[in-house]
A and B are shown apart, each in its own frame.
Chain A
């Protein structure tokens, strides 16, 4: 990682994370050597298609991977406040979860317990971590609901998840996450299950609270549009690996990795008029069977022999903070001109 002396140390550091799943069909190497940094106060977007490993990466941070089929391999390191999260005792880990690092999930309705009121569920965080009594925690919970923009919070707190809309449920999840003013908020596809208008509201809420609390946000999504608006830096993932890291503006202006370029090209634009939608040919290979060499080579228009045999490491690109897992960074001449 190229960092100048002026940048503050990252609040979260992932080094060589490997999370594998043992299935009947073989071992799925869902996350296969991922390294990234999260800087204090920034919003880091993690982008990728389904199967890229982005969700598994986010779940691995708080060790929420179901253990029988899944295993976080030894040798992986996730450093937070000088400690490796992966080697914490269960009690120490629990002290971090929901307290210093909080998480928001994709399906807000199913992520909430159907038989408890939302007020109880939010209050629970305060009772577990802040030692508050039931009435005290309830007051805090209602206050939090207010802060996340739920109208008539006193009444809403007594309701059950199924009585609320998706957007409200997501606000509840965010309220739960923010109760202890965490240093990091991991948001795994927080708006994917919501309507477009609600999406915008939730993103706005996240931005506002981040500004208020100064926390770092890890925003996982497949939607480049969200990334463009919300993220400071972007990490692009493919086939269990990080394939490009960049500041948002640089990523959209001049993507290094052909996959990123492909993703950008496949987003339809109003100005481009009618034409054929450009997808990336082929499909994501199964995690049990990554291709040899560069994992993207079967779908890459620029691929040559080296790509098929040698797996490229993350190579630093021209701009600061930019890197890509692609031989084109070393041999830019091989880049073929875009098809008309």
Chain B
């Protein structure tokens, strides 16, 4: 694969992240309201506010703040999260892994279930199984993820008591459990939120896969395979599927925005302390540094995801490998 091509793509990705960072920085700083605006019913001495502003460099002109921010960024200093009383680094440090865990599990479920379902739908295309399942899939795809979360919470947590309604682990209890017990407890808590996101994602993937597979099945080389006497199952799973798996890679890479969006809502439903919660709280509190950092991370994830998808696709498709070389 062409090294030059790869470098160009990485450079473009970096440029986008930089642009997002800058735009977010400017946007959040221009937002009315400042982090230190006291609630109207508890007036604070303006001198105190002024001192805090000065302390955190908020009284300097915007360009100067921007340069300062970039300089700090290059040293790995993401700033201080006023609203949480900790450095941005620390805030992200706890939130990001939680979101990655949730999104990663959901993605695995999404791709696994979606692929299998898509293949089944294509194999049984236009027959009863397909008609019924396709409609069910369309329904799940159209469902608001947060509502599905609530439904699952009601059924499995409030009613059946099989799973906990929220949080990443049992507060208080988990520390006293042995390691395996802790892992189990975490998985127990991960189940419902990941299932919610994963199901909706899988529905979308299945729809896409079905269409892609049906289209591939109409192509001439499939007819050749049948004319060779290859059995239908192999025609579907080897000849056709290998061709329609390639777009799935791209689809996976592009799922990241969906997962991040979903995480914002799902984390709210399940009180999951991840980036979504962090983002909403930070925006409400006009916490400059935190919002900018979240934007950087989110766009970096999205851009990396799509870059990875491009690379994997090129690696998998013999035709692209030639052109890129």
Contact = CB atoms under 8 A, between A and B. Distances in A.
Interface of A: 62, 64, 66, 68, 90, 94-99, 102-103, 105, 107, 110-116, 124-125, 128-129, 160, 162-163, 173, 176
Given A64-B223, A115-B317, A97 B228 contact: yes
Given A97-B228, A97-B229, A125-B228, A162 B223 contact: no
Contacts of B317: 115
Given A64-B223, A111-B220, A115-B318, A124 B243 contact: no
Contacts of B318: 114-115, 160, 162
A199 B239 CA distance: 29
B59 interface: no
A114 B243 CA distance: 8
A114 B227 CA distance: 17
B252 to A, nearest CB: 18
A162 B318 CA distance: 9
A173 B246 CA distance: 25
Nearest to B221: A113
A268 B231 CA distance: 46
B322 A163 contact: yes
B229 A111 contact: no
A62 B224 CA distance: 11
Contacts, number: 73
The 4 A-B pairs of least Cβ separation, nearest first, read A98-B228, A97-B229, A98-B229, A113-B221
B42 interface: no
B230 A124 contact: yes
Contacts of B227: 62, 64, 97-98, 102-103, 105
Contact of B228 (A90, A116, A124): A124
B126 A107 contact: no
A96 B319 CA distance: 33
Nearest to A103: B227
Contacts of A90: 232
A322 to B, nearest CB: 32
Given A68-B126, A110-B219, A173 B224 contact: yes
Nearest to B222: A113
B228 A128 contact: yes
Interface string B208-247: 0000000000111101111111111000000100110010
B290 to A, nearest CB: 46
24 contacts: A62-B227, A64-B223, A66-B218, A68-B126, A90-B232, A94-B230, A94-B231, A97-B228, A97-B229, A98-B227, A98-B229, A103-B227, A105-B220, A111-B220, A111-B221, A112-B221, A112-B224, A114-B318, A115-B318, A128-B230, A129-B229, A162-B318, A162-B319, A176-B228
A125 B243 contact: no
A286 to B, nearest CB: 22
B249 to A, nearest CB: 13
Interface residues on B, range: 20 to 34
Contacts of A125: 228-229
A111 B224 CA distance: 6
Nearest to A117: B318
A63 to B, nearest CB: 9
Residue among A99, A102, A115 with the highest chain B CB neighbour number at 10 A: A115
Residue among B228, B230, B231, B319 with the highest chain A CB neighbour number at 10 A: B228
Given A68-B126, A105-B220, A107-B220, A113 B229 contact: no
A96 B226 CA distance: 11
A99 B239 contact: no
Contacts of B219: 110
A116 B230 CA distance: 15
Contacts of B231: 94, 128
A114 B230 contact: no
A103 B317 CA distance: 28
B240 to A, nearest CB: 9
Given A90-B232, A94-B231, A107-B220, A114 B319 contact: yes
Contact of B229 (A94, A110, A115): A94
A95 B229 contact: yes
A110 B224 CA distance: 10
A301 B228 CA distance: 45
A124 B235 CA distance: 12
Given A112-B221, A112-B224, A113-B243, A99 B319 contact: no
B291 to A, nearest CB: 45
Contacts of A99: 229
Contacts of B242: 113, 115-116
Nearest to A99: B229
B210 to A, nearest CB: 16
Contacts of A116: 242
Contacts of A124: 228, 230
Interface in B22-60: none
A91 to B, nearest CB: 8
A128 B233 CA distance: 13
Contacts of B228: 97-98, 102, 124-125, 128, 176
Contacts of B220: 105, 107, 110-111
